[in-house]
Amino acid sequence: MAKFYPALDDGLAKFIDAQKIFFVASAPPDSGERVNVSPKGYSSFSVIDSKTVAYIDYPGSGNETARHIARGGMVTLMFCSFDRTPMILRLYCKGEAIPLEKAHDIAIGMKREIPPNARQIILLHIEEVMTSCGDGVPYFKYLGERKP
């Protein structure tokens, strides 16, 4: 059964921190264009506070999330557990694509160094949080990061 929250609490933030992968979905508003869904990793995600999260965005695709954000599109993040404690967590957000030359203060809030191969920071303002059971997600074993 789905549960909705206005913000992250400490338990949900810890769940996010334990995940090795998350998924980002975005689309421009009322355009009829496709929804873009991308997997993300590389320890790039940070919970800044209960209503704000951010991730370091790397090159590799067409930068559709930033383009959708610029057009006023919403962003949905999904985290799911692949271990023995099932859960799916979604963050429904409005976002900002922050150029690296303006990202210093955000990087401090993220408690992360910005690597030289980063493209930008995606800063997201949470409008709603949803959790669901995750019982249908299979178990997977984490083997490590790929070399970029």
- Mean pLDDT (10-residue bins), the chain, 148 residues: 97 96 93 89 92 94 91 96 94 97 91 91 98 92 82
Angstrom distance (rounded) from CA 92 to CA 51: 10
Domain boundaries, the chain: 3-132
Query: Looking at the domain that runs over 3-132, which CATH code has it been given?
Result: 2.30.110.10
Q: Which helix (H) or strand (E) holds 29?
A: none
Q: What is the pLDDT of residue 148?
A: 63
Contacts of 110 (CB under 8 A, 6+ apart): 46, 48, 54, 56, 121
Residue 65: the pLDDT is 95
CA distance 51 to 5: 11
Give the position of tokens 């949900």: 12
Q: Residue 12's pLDDT is what?
A: 98
Phi, psi values for residue 133, rounded to 5° = -65, -45
pTM, full prediction: 0.93
Cα–Cα distance measured from residue 116 to residue 48, given in angstroms and rounded to the nearest whole number:
22
